[in-house]
Amino acid sequence: MSRPLIGVPGMWSSSIHGLRFDGVAVAAQVLRSIDRAGGEPVIMFPGSAGAAGNTAALLARFDGVVLPGGADVDPALYGAEPDEHYWPADYDGQDAFETGVLAGCLEAGIPLLAICRGLQLLNVSRGGTLIQHLEPGPVRHKDAVHPVAVAKGSLLAETLGTAEACVSSYHHQAVGVLGAGLQVAATAADGVVEAVEVPGAPLLAVQWHPEDTAATNPTDHALFAWVVEAACRRRDGERAAGTELADAR
């Protein structure tokens, strides 16, 4: 059986080492983590004409999606002005492209793992807000490792198989007002939302970076294994349905 194709939106960057001009990048650790879990990672171009015209058609070729971390979400999307810590994406269309991917995955039931910025964009796309900058406090969220408490009965708890996980954290923003239809699946000791879910949807969104330690941390690897396995089930289910339809004809 072929490896499931896992789409990964690239971040359009104005400068990439080794290139004369701009380029599109995805953290190698994200791609390695998908590969290690048995998926075939494929970078999605954020300037794709297909995405602009029909996101559903763009996503139809993929069995699952991983939405990785990156630059800050534009505060205008949640009715705020940027503060002095704002770190914008180089490409003006980055937020719109990834928002379309999020919506397309939810509409089509495509398994989705959203990481850091991905969680924040999901929250904003559903009418939520962000805390633009976390002040120093009891939990260090940037360049740090800390525990998170996982909500009992959540898809995240089922996936990780634990009520507490130690996570690699690299973010300066966080969920403010929770978006419509989202449920909190994990929190840090200071109350910062660390994971959210959409009940009944094949979606996991985490604030931390599981790719950092997925090679050695079973709970982080489990997130990538979940999206790859869910992608396989969806693909195989669609193939079986297609075969039954062909037989009926």
**Which residues form the catalytic set?**
116, 209, 211
Tokens of 126: 């559903």
Tokens of 78: 């949640």
In contact, 183 and 196? CB cutoff 8 Å: yes
Place of tokens 């939810």: 106
Going across the sheet that includes 193-197, the strands are: 40-44, 5-9, 64-67, 112-115, 203-206, 193-197, 183-187, 142-150, 164-170
DSSP annotation of 214:
T
**Can you say whether the dihedral through the CA atoms of 140, 117, 29, 112 is positive or negative?**
positive
CB neighbours of residue 127 within 10 Å = 14
